[in-house]
Structure 1
């Protein structure tokens, strides 16, 4: 058997093996998929942020981009995004300014307390009804823009909801109870102090109603 014959037999055998392997792969419905990921840690920062309220939001976000072809014909592309988010609202205590009391004085004076802010948004996005134009196609920048706009919209909705008010009430009353448990007097900025006094009055009224004490 000469070299040419051996080579032809090897090629035929290899081709048959590939054909059999492909047939088996199609029958089993399995494919080989390779995934590679690289985790990069850029930096670690020390923070003192406290979550005081969380809310769950759903939003339907419609995106449409009009593009003119030859300044005459419209070539629109559009997509619908359904976003479901968990929003955490709280405070950055690094922004708090307080005055150190005199020696022996059990009074904590908060000179500045920050407004509640959105600390994190955990969102699940799903795209529906994606329609590209004839020449106006979607690209990676479009998807990034859509997700950024949807997240910003969710951030604004969270700040317009009751979450900031709930977070404010929570933190003020928590600080008051903590200070009282140690025998300290808590003094907040004027606007916050009025809110705290109202919370204390409401808590006292609720306690009286619960205990049946009308005096």
Structure 2
């Protein structure tokens, strides 16, 4: 749309100059003075230059879009069967402040810092491969022998950088940015582990197992095992 408007403007200006040139030529026909002839030549030269500039501007403005070539190769490293169930989901916003100070020539301090907002979605659930239980078919009861602690099954993170400050002799490298993202993600994981997510996951799992067994006329003998695994997990996080 902008290119078309530019072309119309150039054509209009050229038409006006042409009309002015015709009018001037008519005036010169009435008077063949040397100054008029000089003026005519100058106008012709100016018109030629203007036309050349207009041509170059139009050609540059209507250049074709760049051609982008993309390629990718996907390699499947491994595949295996798992039995993991997500029972809680949490969204976190972590403010991570990174600051590093070095001394140039051991005398002049040089500082770089960045403020990063880490937005993450954390999924907490259970790995049923770690579950041990026994079945009492006569009394239609299921007894839990060992129940795994809730764990983080997936973490999706997005990083937004704010207030990045660096100096000429102390710039951010790719390794610095990778370390910032790694540390930010670790803080989100720590916050998720210490939050109420494990408790929510445990309550959801106890409800799920109770209703699932009730649908087959079985009862869960000791659902307290699920709560115990949750408490042990919270105690582990507190100590660490």
Q: 1:116 to 1:24 in 2, by over 3 A?
A: farther
Q: 1:80 to 1:194 in 2, by over 3 A?
A: closer
Q: Contact between 2:121 and 2:155, CA under 8 Å: does it hold in 1?
A: yes
Q: 1:69 to 1:188 in 2, by over 3 A?
A: farther
Q: Contact between 2:206 and 2:223, CA under 8 Å: does it hold in 1?
A: no
Q: Which runs of 4+ in 1 moved over 6 A?
A: 20-23
| Equivalent position SS for 1:178 | helix
- The answer to whether the aligner puts 1:182 opposite 2:216 as a matched pair is yes
In the other structure, the counterpart of 1:127 is 161
In the other structure, the counterpart of 1:32 is 67
* Pair member with larger Rg: 2
Q: Which runs of 5+ in 1 are unaligned?
A: 1-19, 196-215
Q: Contact between 2:89 and 2:122, CA under 8 Å: does it hold in 1?
A: yes
Q: Contact between 2:111 and 2:167, CA under 8 Å: does it hold in 1?
A: yes
Q: 1:38 to 1:91 in 2, by over 3 A?
A: same
Distance 1:66 1:104 in 2: 70
Taking only aligned residues, the RMSD between alpha carbons, in angstroms, comes to 2.7
The correspondence for 1:56, drawn from 61, 66, 91, is 91
Q: 1:180 to 1:194 in 2, by over 3 A?
A: farther
Distance 1:50 1:22 in 2: 62
- Per the TM alignment, residue 184 of structure 1 is displaced from its structure 2 partner at its CA by 1.6
**Residues 77-132 of structure 1: CA deviation (Å, up to 9, x unaligned):** 1111112111111111111122344x634221111111111111111111122222
Distance 1:22 1:53 in 2: 60
Q: Contact between 2:142 and 2:219, CA under 8 Å: does it hold in 1?
A: yes
TM-score by length of 1: 0.71
In the other structure, the counterpart of 2:49 is none
Q: Contact between 1:63 and 1:78, CA under 8 Å: does it hold in 2?
A: yes
**Structure 1 segment 83-122 matched on structure 2, within 5 A:** 83-101=118-136, 104-122=138-156
Equivalent residue pairs, number? 175
In the other structure, the counterpart of 1:78 is 113
- Per the TM alignment, residue 161 of structure 1 is displaced from its structure 2 partner at its CA by 1.5
Structure ranking higher in helix proportion: 2
TM-score by length of 2: 0.64
Distance 1:74 1:113 in 2: 54
Q: 1:111 to 1:76 in 2, by over 3 A?
A: same
